Amino acid sequence: MAAGVLAAATRQLLQKMYHVLIMRQFTNHKFALTLIVLATVLLVLYLHYYSSSNQKFRPEQISTDTDLTLQKIKYTKTRAGNALWTLSAETADQREDGVISARKVRVTFFDRKKGDIHISADQAQLVPELEKVSLSSNVKVTTSQGETLLTDFLEYKEKEHLLHSDQPAHIFTDSYEATGNGMSVDLRYRTLVLFGGVKASVPKNSNKGPVSVPPEQK
């Protein structure tokens, strides 16, 4: 609205100047000069306002990044009304394609018969379309049986019901400790497989016998 008022005032002054200078209806040159100066000032103000307004509301300057930053998120996977697993995080970013990158993550796999499995990690990426969760940095897995597994990367593939890692893994319980260059856990049968440079040991205070490593895991 302000720009319209300035434009109208400028047009009126320019018309007045036309009559003064061209039609020679006035002989007062000081008055004509005053009109010229005033019209120039109004024109400069109008152009400045118009330029500032366009720059402020220029469409290309409006961010088209539609990523969504979330706080305290919780994602639950269900089947037939039953919760299979849940992922919670302190903060997360969701992209347009639905991929979620989360930080300070906790994942819980529910199993009433075999007990729950809990996983914590510094970072995680959830890809709902592929039914895959990748956890990285300080990954820690604990079970209700007292087992603990440490690694720097862990991937959950829902279709195979597998936890898989191609990074060094360290598992320890009250009865033994074992390390390997990778690992795989079948969540349906709770079977753990370590592979690549596997080493195992039994704590001195354990009453269990020696731990044997199958030849194919060495």
Give the mean pLDDT per block of 10 residues along the chain (218 residues). Answer: 52 54 48 60 57 39 52 88 92 88 95 93 90 95 92 94 95 91 93 91 62 45
CATH topology for 68-217 is lipopolysaccharide transport protein A fold (2.60.450)
HEC assignment per residue over the chain: CHHHHHHHHHHHHHHHHHHHHHCCCCCCHHHHHHHHHHHHHHHHHHHHHHHHHHHHCCHHHCCCCCCEEEEEEEEEEEECCEEEEEEEEEEEEECCCCCEEEEEEEEEECCCCCCCEEEEEEEEEEEHHHCEEEEEEEEEEEECCCCEEEEEEEEEECCCCEEEECCCEEEECCCCEEEECEEEEECCCCEEEEECCCEEECCCCCCCCCCCCCHHHC
Tokens of 149: 């597994």
Of 151, 135, 59, nearest to 100 (Cα)? 135
Domain boundaries defined on the chain? 2-59, 68-217
Task: Return the closest-CA partner of residue 129 out of 86, 164, 100.
Answer: 100
pLDDT at 70: 81
State the pLDDT at residue 67.
Answer: 65
CA nearest to 140, candidates 150, 126, 131: 150
Query: Which pLDDT score is estimated for 105?
Result: 96
The partner residues of 163 in beta bridges, in order of sequence, read 156, 185
Euclidean distance between CA atoms 85 and 76, whole angstroms: 6
Q: What is the pLDDT of residue 69?
A: 81
Per-residue model confidence (pLDDT) at position 210: 43
Look at residue 65 in the predicted model and tell me its pLDDT: 43
pLDDT at position 28? 52
Rounded Cα distance, 94 and 69, in Å: 6
